Amino acid sequence: MADIRTPVLDSKLPQVGTTIFSVMSALAQQHGAVNLGQGFPDFGCDMRLVESVTEAMQAGHNQYPPMPGVPALRQAISAKMAALYGRHYDPEQEITVTAGATQGIITAVLALVRPGDEVIVLEPCYDSYEPSITLAGGKAVFVPLGETGVAGSFRPDIARIAAAITPRTRALLLNTPHNPSATVWSEADMRALAELLAPTDIVVISDEVYEHMVYDGRRHESVARHPALAARSFIVSSFGKTYHVTGWKVGYVAAPAPLMTEFRKVHQFNVFTVNTPMQHGLARYMADPTPALALPAFYQRKRDFFREGLATTRFRLLPSEGSYFQCVDYSAISDLGEVDFCRWLTEEIGVAAIPLSVFYRDGHEQQVVRFCFAKKDETLRDALGRLQRL
């Protein structure tokens, strides 16, 4: 009888294990903690959106849609981007519907990056960036965000980015509003980046999934607003973030036609296309722009409520300009490292957070953790009651 054995694989991602988000969510459930760790709402979406998807299913929209996405949805995305950012993207050639933003990001990376290429990544950063680059055979070159000598700053330093550019630099990954720091890039930041990249062939992958979550009168500086950047950029966004349906995993990517042609070559072989009735439902729902336009005020109220409660604790609040995250410095409370502090906070205080160190390749420690305030008011009130006992 032949031996029965499972071959041992030489892992392409040997450093990757269970994410801290899964670990902290499981720990929160185990200890009955309020989960402000993982970034998703604990409230439902607009029932009109659910009804739109249901009607699409009942109308028979249950087979494969076109590979780049349902035409009506691509047209709605194009109209939205033109209205908000003043740039027209051709829905036929320049917009593709994706299975969430993460798939959009890795597809852009795979379309661009070849073995030996370098991709500049601004850290702290979302955890899918580096694995996507590694799988493409590229090398992530990490550039820290933050002004030199300014504690708690995560503003982009254009001089540092410039110093990281080499003849091998193929792309730059940009994220604004920023996860995890809640920093929003300014118009001046974008102009400076455009000037820096002008003489190069570097492509920008702009992760703009929190585009509708900007506060205090700020404007989201999509790269679409800046012609010199738009001409060299993939823009990635997420219906899950905008409409409180993260589990639907539907997003989109916009880019100039020559870039999108290469993107679609990869897209058609890693997912081919995306959930049909969801696309039809979203297209119909987008006819009314109010839900997206109301999002800044909706989340700013939650942010302000949460910050007012935290102000009575020993946490030091960092700015929260956009996204649905709030970072805090806990150095006045504990000397523990960030991961250990988050475990202690979950197990002993009953509130789960995410250590900022996990967003750095080298686990950089700053005694800062991230809370998510995309929660019901009663959830935030419960969490604040526990945190105020510290």
The predicted-structure confidence for 143-183, as pLDDT tens digits, reads as follows 999 976 666 789 999 999 999 999 999 999 999 999 999 99
**For residue range 2-23, what is the model confidence (pLDDT) as tens digits?**
789 999 999 999 988 878 888 8
Instruction: Please report, as a single letter, which amino acid is at residue 146.
Output: G
Query: Which of the residue ranges 61-75, 100-114, 147-161, 194-208 would you say has the lowest mean pLDDT?
Result: 147-161
Peptide bond into 355 cis (omega under 30): no
Please choose, from the candidates 277, 230, 293, the residue with its C-alpha nearest in 3D space to the C-alpha of residue 87.
230
The confidence score (pLDDT) of residue 148 equals: 67
Q: At what angle do helices 276-285 and 47-58 cross, to 10 degrees?
A: 130
CB 252, CB 235: distance < 8 Å: no
How far is it, in rounded angstroms, from Cα 159 to Cα 162? 5
Domains, the chain, with CATH or none = 20-45+293-387 (3.90.1150.10), 60-288 (3.40.640.10)
Is the CB of residue 368 less than 8 Å from the CB of residue 353? no
What's the Cα-to-Cα distance from 9 to each of 12, 17, 110, 130, rounded to whole Å? 9, 15, 22, 20
User: Mean pLDDT across the stretch 23-52?
Assistant: 94
pLDDT of residue 360: 96
From CA 330, how far away is CA 367, in angstroms rounded? 6
Q: What is the pLDDT of residue 38?
A: 85
Does the pLDDT of residue 329 top 70, yes or no?
yes
pLDDT tens digits along 197-253: 999 999 999 999 999 999 999 999 999 999 999 999 999 999 999 999 999 999 999
Name all contacts of 77-84 with Cβ < 8 Å and 24+ positions apart.
Answer: 77/252, 77/254, 77/286, 80/286, 80/289, 80/292, 81/222, 81/224, 81/235, 81/254, 83/289, 84/220, 84/222
Q: What pLDDT is recorded for position 16? A: 87
Compute the average pLDDT of residues 301-320.
Answer: 98
Bridge-based pairing of strands 368-372 and 325-329 is antiparallel
- Among 144-148, 312-316, 352-356, the range scoring the smallest mean pLDDT is 144-148
Question: In degrees rounded to 5, what are phi and psi of residue 274?
Answer: -125, 155
| pLDDT confidence of residue 149 | 60
Predicted pLDDT of residue 308:
98
**Does the pLDDT of residue 1 top 80, yes or no?**
no
Q: Which residue shows structure tokens 């809640």?
A: 182
Q: What is the pLDDT of residue 21?
A: 85
The span from the CA of 183 to the CA of 232, in Å, is 23
Contact yes or no for 254/224 (Cβ under 8 A): yes
pLDDT of residue 353: 98
